[in-house]
Amino acid sequence: MLKHLSGNEVYIYSNTINHSSISTGFCPVQKTIIMKRTVLIAATAFMFVCTTVLANNQNQIDYSKVNPISFEKAEISALCKAIVKGDIELVKKLISLGEDVNRKSLGKTPAIFAARYNKGEILKLLIDNGADLTIKSDSGYTITEIAKSANAKEALEIISSAMQS
């Protein structure tokens, strides 16, 4: 086999001997032309594919260890929205419809939202309807710590009196 480079082309010559060439004494030469650009494009594509495959293999996630809740869109509950807005009538309506006063939204209970935004009347309503003031936020903070950090004085008074009784 003989290779010859010329401009943008690679010529590969190979002698092919078959039964007819032996009987006639003639050996034809096959000429194969491979374009340099095609070879470079193919090599680049191959390298890209290999890099992508390697990158995907390194970033594989073990989905058996992932909490499926983390894929849900983070959204505040209707009860907590009403608390933040200070809409006590809507809060009463949601509680009467069976809304759980201890169900966390964005990692905080409704009582923590009421304390954070110093909504004293709503906080009293939640306590009267069974809100558990000992539940910590997902960040590990107590309702008292969150009320103190927000300087929510009315909420702090309500919390301390509810904790004492």
Q: Is 87 exposed, middle or buried, given 0-12, 13-18 or 19+ CB atoms closer than 10 A?
A: middle
pLDDT tens digit sequence for 112-125: 999 999 999 999 99
Q: How far is CA 126 from the centre of its chain?
A: 33
How far from 119 is each of 8, 85, 102, 157, 164, CA to CA, in Å?
Answer: 78, 9, 16, 12, 20
Domain boundaries, the chain: 2-60, 75-164
Per-residue pLDDT of 24-77, as tens digits, reads 444 444 444 555 667 667 778 777 776 666 665 555 545 455 445 444 556 889
Q: pLDDT of 64-81, one tens digit each?
A: 554 454 445 568 899 999
- Residue 15 has, within 13 A of its CA and on its CB side, a CA count of 7
In DSSP terms, which residues pair with 11 in a beta bridge? 4, 33
User: In CATH, which superfamily holds the domain spanning 75-164?
Assistant: Ankyrin repeat-containing domain (1.25.40.20)
